[in-house]
Amino acid sequence: MNKTAIFILSDPKNGEEALGRAFNGLAAAYDIKQSGGDVSITFQGTGTRWPALIAQVDHPLHGLYNLVKGSIAGVSCGCADVFGAKEDAETCGMPILSENLVPGTTGLAGLGKLVKFGTTVITF
């Protein structure tokens, strides 16, 4: 089975629609993992705000988060900087990703290698 990379971009500040996208992203990762597939989850853009929320025991996505936590690649560094989520992501123990060294940023999570090696990329 091909590797799958899930990118969660939805902003938790955008209510139910964003919660639904994050839920479905984590649920897709769980499904792929349960089927024996190779999956990774990256939080990028305003999605970098999710880890601080879903790490909280009382959050509705916390249980699902625990089921896929081992598949989380991390949080995009430059995005976390821009959206004020870096410190919270680090506190949650999230790896900070910066492979894509876009000038003027601290680096973003990389897509280049994923695409180059045939990884299926899905965004939520």
pLDDT tens digit sequence for 47-56: 999 999 999 9
Which CATH fold topology does 4-123 show?
Answer: Hypothetical Protein Ychn; Chain: A, (3.40.1260)
**Which residues, in sequence order, are CB contacts of 26 under 8 Å at separation 6+?**
8, 41, 54, 61, 64, 65, 67, 68
Which whole number is the average pLDDT over 106-121? 94
Mean pLDDT of 113-120: 93
Q: Return the domain boundaries, the chain.
A: 4-123
Place 2 in a pLDDT band, splitting at 50, 70 and 90.
confident
pLDDT on residue 1 = 59
Cβ atoms 117, 94 nearer than 8 A: no
- What does the block give as tokens for 46? 């305003």
pLDDT digits (tens, 9 = 90+) for 58-80: 999 999 999 999 999 999 999 99
pTM score above 0.85: yes
